Amino acid sequence: MTEDATSDSQIVSIVFPVYGRKLPTDHGYALYAALSRCAPALHCVPWLSVELISGVPWRDRIIVLPIHGSRLHLRVPAEHYPDILPLSGVSLDINGRAIRLGSPTARPLQPTASLYARIVTIKKFTEAKSFLDAARRQIEALGVHASLELPIDEKGRFRRRIIRIHDKAVVGFSLAAHGLSDEHSLKLQSHGVGGRRAMGCGIFIPITRGLAANDNQVAGQLDED
């Protein structure tokens, strides 16, 4: 998956109910692979963004999904909505954990002045300062004006994340953007920052009740340094 740019067509959020009990905490790559097997039109396309599925941390890098209200969110250009429909009702094997998707609904993105991405990966930038500079360059290239923040955890450390793709560890950081106009908020949500957006990276969501609340909405804890 390359560091890609989303087209200028309208991006919509496609929401699937999720039925299942447990998932690996770090399930971005396995989820993308499972989706691609069921809908081959999604394989290696530059326009697909897949949010991680929310859950409560349990043990052994496993999350427990809520009995009611678990959701899978995809972001795609509106004209690619038909490519998503084969996923309706399918069962997915996520590294040995089974989930089933319900029928999708499409929703427009909603602008907010502050956005949060749980993990952003930018190739070759694995240290906080250089990463933040690279992220600024990317949003400037989009024509987006925002104040960027590297959130810190309860110990005062930057939220440096590690995801695993095959046997490779990929380093990223949590990232927040503030002071966005409605236009720029929608643009950042549509395009994202960095690569691997089909695997849960670089996807911005509205900040609700502070950064800590957003952090808990998405898949428990990914590995941290």
The pLDDT of residue 223 is: 55
Tell me the domains of the chain and their CATH numbers: 11-108 (3.30.70.1890), 115-224 (3.30.70)
The pLDDT of residue 5 is: 44
Segment 167-202, tens digit of pLDDT: 899 999 999 999 999 999 999 999 999 999 999 999
- The chain-wide mean pLDDT, for the chain, equals 90
**Higher pLDDT pick, 61 / 137:** 137
Asked whether the predicted pLDDT for residue 2 surpasses 50, the reply is no
3-class secondary-structure state, position 140 = helix
Q: Which residue type does 155 have?
A: K
Q: Which residue type does 135 have?
A: A
Instruction: State pTM to two decimals.
Output: 0.88
Segment 79-130, tens digit of pLDDT: 999 999 999 999 999 999 999 999 999 999 999 999 999 999 999 999 999 9
Burial 15-45 (b: 16+ CB within 10 A, else e): bbebebbebbbbbbbbbbbbbbeebeebeee
